Structure 1
Amino acid sequence: MLNNKSILITGGTGSLGKALTSHILKAYPQVKRLVIFSRDEQKQFHMAQDYPADKYPQIRFFIGDVRDKERLVRAFKGVDYVIHAAAMKHVPIAEYNPDECVKTNIHGAQNVIDACLNTDVERVVALSTDKACAPINLYGATKLASDKLFVAANNISGNSPIRFSVVRYGNVMGSNGSVIPFFINKKKEGVLPITDVNMTRFNISLQGGVDMVMHALIHAWGGEIFIPKIPSYKITDVAQAIGPECEHRVVGIRPGEKVHEEMITPSDSFYTYDLGKYYTILPSVTKWNLDSFLKEFNGKKVTPGFAYNSGDNTEWDDVETLRKLIKDHVDPTFTY
């Protein structure tokens, strides 16, 4: 489906952006153009070394900020599909710099929507986070607002065939700033800081995140929030998997953190459907026929009051599983 198409990734130099780039080039060698849009020139410089123009003529590197709508409109000209991965995502930094977070995650999202509507973009997939579900920190609140904007964008598209959808998932194993590389780095100091011994998180690999984005890009009808069925882990098991000989020092929860993360609340259950590999939260009113959608994907409505959170999950990654996943997906040289 992506062969002979032009694709743009905002935040394309981030962990997921780079994983998407690698996947698209391997799975769709006839892709017409792949635009890496980000504001970090240093990361673009290093990424360009991995994809030299003589070997990858379809790649373009485009310096820009999602806060700049005019730059987005220029970048989106001739683009068929947009994957919106740009965001301020570090919870404590967002708490300390709230206005900057709002500018990027909310105003930037609306700029992406407007630029897509003002060009000939056909499909848009925006990345969300489990922290957008019943948010208690600013980052989660801005991403919830972003989700709402992308879902509602389908209502203002008029006769355009454009489709906006969202993918929401938990912590990406090994992504920049996540706990596993943080613990691996802290291991040499002999102390691993544990925020709360009861803390749990959802866990998804970079490839799992890529697969979700591609599923939404290809199969979305417009307005869905896709949520994967993924395992959880206990933060104490992560510490034991990485540094069993280290001191596991309890330091307390940081501002804006939850003990357990949520991806579907009981209030969401009235609009949530089980599609097999994924759940999806649908808008209360869709532009398409719900019965046809459910028949197409063999969808079934979840029971009223259903919730999906990392603490009550039925699937778990234990210490041994985590060690294998770290070696396979984060650091092939990992030892404990």
Structure 2
Amino acid sequence: MKSKNILITGGTGSFGTAFVGYLLEHHPDIARIVVFSRDEQKHVEMARRFPPSKYPLRYMVGDIRDRERMMEACRNMDIVVHAAAMKHVPVAEENPMECAKTNILGVQNVIDAALANKVSQVIALSSDKAVAPANVYGASKLFLEKLFLNANRENATQFSVVRYANVFGSKGSVVPFFLEKMAEGYLPITHPEMTRFSISMQEGLDLVMFAIQHGKGGEVIVPKAPSYRILDVATAIAPGVEHRIVGIRPGEKLHEMMVGASEAAQTVELGCYYIVCPSEGPWDKAQYCSENNATPVAEAFEFESGRNTEWMTVETIRGLIKQITQTHG
């Protein structure tokens, strides 16, 4: 990262804020970080924490829907980390075209701006909901992945994708929702058998850094995330509190998938990650295994939250919640 210029779209969000803090702490020799976001209030709040007078930061108000603004943002950049998205499933279900404008058309603007400015590397944050999508948000993230992998062909710019799981305790996740609802004397449970993958924010940062440092372009990088049961989260937060089954919301799945059966033929295992290799392009699965000592997964491999081999216990969840509440008061 020495002397690199890096642009973070959606840079004032939970990931962007954490990533900026990580870069400033661990890569003090970075040349410049441009924080790109359409939320001016978050710019003001973030600038109080990381003032540009003290750090090599530029705060740039802009929307990835604005092609000209993206062109300007990508000028002289070495690396782009694309984290901007419309991400709330119910909101996307009710406003599908608005989701498409940001999560699909906006992504194409990021790609075109990166290519026009000869950016070396672009990393996009996708989601486990992109695998066999059941909602508008998941479909838009699948489209993002396809756009990025297509852009990687025959271009000098490397486009890689990291597939996120739920970041434990993040805004909009089940943990703060349950913490708020427990005061009402009950917890609403969508389905007693529901499961989800989970990663910490640090694991999310590590995932993006792995892509920056080891990405070849054209791949999807998937963390080996543990699963949790929604009932275990409820028990960890409020043992003994009543559970009321409210039903699965439109677009929700009972279990999530990080690697689908249709991707198994292109997927390899490397340390704490699965790598979905491109089926076309300058490199393939066999080459990746040879160069990185990676191992192909089984022919019928699937990575689903309900059939995971690693689970978060009630005690583990309770410990993480305690850390979150102490950190945020």
Q: 1:228 & 1:326 partners in 2: Cα distance?
A: 21
Give the residue type in structure 2 aligned to 1:98: P
**Separation of aligned partners in 2, 1:304 and 1:174:** 34
Q: Is the 8 A contact 1:326 1:334 kept in 2?
A: no
Is the 1:327–1:334 Cα contact (8 Å) retained in structure 2? no
Q: Distance in 2 between matches of 1:307 and 1:290?
A: 17
RMSD: 1.4
- Between 303-312 and 185-194, the greater mean CA deviation after superposition: 185-194
Q: Distance in 2 between matches of 1:256 and 1:84?
A: 24
TM-score for both structures, normalised by structure 1 = 0.95
Equivalence map 1:74-85=2 (5 Å): 74-85=72-83
How far off is 1:169 after superposition?
Answer: 2.2
What is the aligned counterpart of 1:302 among 283, 286, 297?
297
1:325 maps to 320
Instruction: Show CA shifts across 1:80-133 (max 9, x none).
Output: 000000001111100100000000000011110000000031111000000000
Deviation of 1:182 after TM superposition, in Å, equals 1.2
Which residue does the alignment assign to 2:26?
27
Question: Which secondary structure does the structure 1 equivalent of 2:191 belong to?
Answer: coil
Task: Tell which deviates more after alignment, 30-39 or 147-156.
Answer: 147-156
- Listed as ranges, the gaps of 5+ residues in structure 2 are none
Shift of 1:156: 4.5
% identical equivalent positions: 54
Q: Secondary structure at the match of 1:203?
A: strand
Please give the alpha-carbon distance, in whole angstroms, between the structure 2 residues aligned to 1:273 and 1:195.
Answer: 34
CA distance in 2, matches of 1:21, 1:122: 20
AA at the equivalent of 1:18: T
Cα distance in 1 for partners of 2:178, 2:284 equals 48
Residue 271 of structure 2: aligned partner: 276
Say which SS state the counterpart of residue 306 (structure 2) adopts: coil
SS in 1 for 2:152: helix
Worse overlay, 176-185 or 233-242: 176-185
Measured in 2, the distance between the counterparts of 1:209 and 1:43 equals 21
Q: Measure, in 2, the Cα distance between the counterparts of 1:295 and 1:261.
A: 31
Q: Given the two structures, how large is their TM-score scaled by the length of structure 2? A: 0.97
Q: Are positions 1:111 and 2:109 aligned together?
A: yes
Deviations 1:209-235 (A, max 9, x none): 010001001100110100011110000
Q: Provide the residue aligned with 2:221 in structure 1.
A: 226
Alpha-carbon deviation of 1:319? 0.6
Q: Deviations over 1:34-84 (max 9, x none)?
A: 01101000111101110112221x011000101011100101111100000
Q: Deviations over 1:291-312 (max 9, x none)?
A: 4422232111111111000000
**Does structure 2 retain, via aligned residues, the 8 Å contact 1:131–1:261?**
yes
Cα deviation, residue 288, structure 1: 2.7
Unaligned runs of 5+ in 1: none
The number of equivalent residue pairs is: 329
1:247 aligns with 2:219: no
